[in-house]
Each structure stands twice: as structure tokens, then as C-alpha cells.
Structure 1
Amino acid sequence: MNLRFGLPQPLLSFTLLLVWLMLAGASAGNVVLGLVLAWLLPLFTQGFWPDNPAIHKPWKLVWYVLKVIVDIVVASITVARLVLSFRREPNSAFICYPLTLEHPLGITMLASTISLTPGTVSADISDDYKMLLIHALDVTDDEALMADIHKRYEKPLLELFS
């Protein structure tokens, strides 16, 4: 635990204070109560928080987020065309994707990215955190989809967390 100014999670404390003030109003009493809550809640819940990840190349996170946003827009258009097109039926499939990521936050970011991208959903993860079950709306080649996920998402996350 790295206590900065007595705050185990300073970003969480700041966010809690802002949300409290937006919900309760910015009177003097609410500011004091918000500061106390922003200090005590992270302090009492620090045992539930995992260690902060060591992100080695934080500037790559910006490019990753931009890539994901572009992929979401492109996938939204693709799924809309597929749904509105009555010519063919989608070829949906469940795929077991082998994970090379080991950090829990990296795995969570990968699963969230897959679920955020229209047409794919992360359905489950194995007990040993080595396989991710993915449902894809329209798949022609399982191997190509897995290679695309690895190249576009998992490889940049591996660079971030290792």
C-alpha cells in the first residue's frame, strides 16, 4: 500500500468527493462530510483493492483507446449492415480464445474491449485465467478472428503491462 497524503486511493477519493458534492450540493457541511467520506471509504476498503498495475508505456494507452473507439464505430456500422440486410443469416459462434495476458487488469481490459465492440461479447473466463470464451455475431474464420484480437487488442495490452 502506498499512502499518499494518508489516501490509499487518491483518484478514488477525489472521485468520491466530486460525486458526493454533485449529489448532495456544495454547502460547507457537505464539503466536510464529503472529505471525511473520501478519506474513510478507501481507507476501510483498501484490503479489497488489488495492487496498482505497473503500466510501463502509458502513452500507448492513449493509442489503444483511440484504436478501440475507431473499432467500435466501424463494428457498429458493420453490425447495422448485417442486421438490416435480409440477404444472409449471420454465422454466430463461440470461440475459446487462449490468453497470453497474465495481469488481472489487462485481462479485464481485453474482455471489456471485446464486449464494447459491437458483434462480440466476452462470455466467460476459465478458472485458471488462460482461456476467454467469446461469442461473435458473424464469424467466417475462427483463427482469423483470434489473430485479429491478438494483434489489435492483446498485443498492445501486453506492451502496456509487461
Structure 2
Amino acid sequence: MTLLIVNVLFVVVWVAITGSATLLNIGFGFLLSAFTLWLIRDQVGGRSYWTRIGRIASLIGLFFKELMLSAWTVAVMVVKPRLDLQPGIFAFPLTVTSDFEITLLANLITLTPGTLSVDVSEDRRYLYVHAVDCSNIEATKRDIANGFERKIMEAFR
């Protein structure tokens, strides 16, 4: 995580030197500093940093894939002449343990159309999720566990 801070500091220096705080310039500065840190990765011991960046990118890719698939599924549900939905709330057993991981999982679920994180149990072992269609709760739980939750654990542990 230290290399991320160094990377962000390099971006701040880059923005200060160029005098431009546009999104494109910040993105370019981030890529430039990441490339620079990659060149000296053996000297700074940052091999895991690059693995983590790849895993975070994989999590982001999964989110956008799930966003498109669920948006399509909800759109198809809405245009059907007969709504055959079984909305409901189910308890999802959490494998993630830290506040950050639970919050990230809850937000990713909420940002995906058709689902909404409602609450976390007091013992932080269950996340209560509202789904537009609860006809197959076990499949939904399996999708969350093998998708978002697994990618979160890969990226942040």
C-alpha cells in the first residue's frame, strides 16, 4: 500500500509541475508514475503492488460486466407484458470481514440494478440484500460469493 501513496504523491508532483489538473493529465500522471515505479520495482520491493493493481482492475471489470448484465435483465423484466417477479430480502453470509470489504461489497451490490443492500447484521456475519427477483436465492448468493466477494478478497487481502 506504500507504493500507492508514492504513486499518488508522484501524481501530485506531476500536476504541480505541469500546472494542469485536468482529468486526462491526472490519469496520464498516474500511468507515468506507475510505469516509473514498475521500472524500479526490484529496488523498492513492489511486486505485490502490481499484482494488487491487476486484481483491482479485474474487480472493476467484473463490476462493469455485472452492471451491464443486470441492467439488461431488469430492462427485459420491465418490458415483459406480465411481470412474474418474486421480490424479497435474503441474508447473504459474509466471508469478507473488514469494514472496508463489507462496505465495498454492499456498495457494489447496491450499484447493480435489481439488488439493494439493506443492512448488515450486528455480528457482521450477514448482509441483508433486497432483490427484485428472489425466485432462485441460492443462485444469487452463489453469484455474489463467486463474483464480487471473491474478487474483493483477492484484491484487498
Instruction: Give yes or no for TM over 0.5.
Output: yes
Structure 1 residue runs of 4+, over 4 Å off?
A: none
Structure 1 position 114, deviation (Å): 0.3
1:152 correspondence with 2:147: yes
Superposition CA RMSD, Å: 2.8
SS at match of 2:119: strand
Structure 1 position 103, deviation (Å): 1.6
Match of 1:86 in 2: 81
Q: How many residues align?
A: 120
Native 8 Å contact 2:90 2:128 kept in 1: yes
Match of 2:97 in 1: 102
- Kindly provide the amino acid, as one letter, of the partner of residue 72 in structure 1: L
Q: For the residues of structure 2 that align with 1:88 and 1:160, how far apart are their CA atoms? A: 38
What is the TM-score when the length of structure 1 is the normalising length?
Answer: 0.64
Match of 1:115 in 2: 110
1:67 correspondence with 2:62: yes
Match of 1:133 in 2: 128
- Kindly provide the amino acid, as one letter, of the partner of residue 70 in structure 1: K
What is the TM-score when the length of structure 2 is the normalising length?
Answer: 0.66
Q: For the residues of structure 2 that align with 1:71 and 1:142, how far apart are their CA atoms? A: 17
Native 8 Å contact 1:103 1:161 kept in 2: no
Q: For the residues of structure 1 that align with 2:68 and 2:118, how far apart are their CA atoms? A: 22
Match of 2:29 in 1: none
Q: Percent identity?
A: 30
Unaligned runs of 5+ in 1: 3-9, 15-21, 23-53
Structure 1 position 88, deviation (Å): 3.0
Moved more, 80-89 or 108-117: 80-89
Q: For the residues of structure 2 that align with 1:66 and 1:142, how far apart are their CA atoms? A: 24
SS at match of 2:52: coil
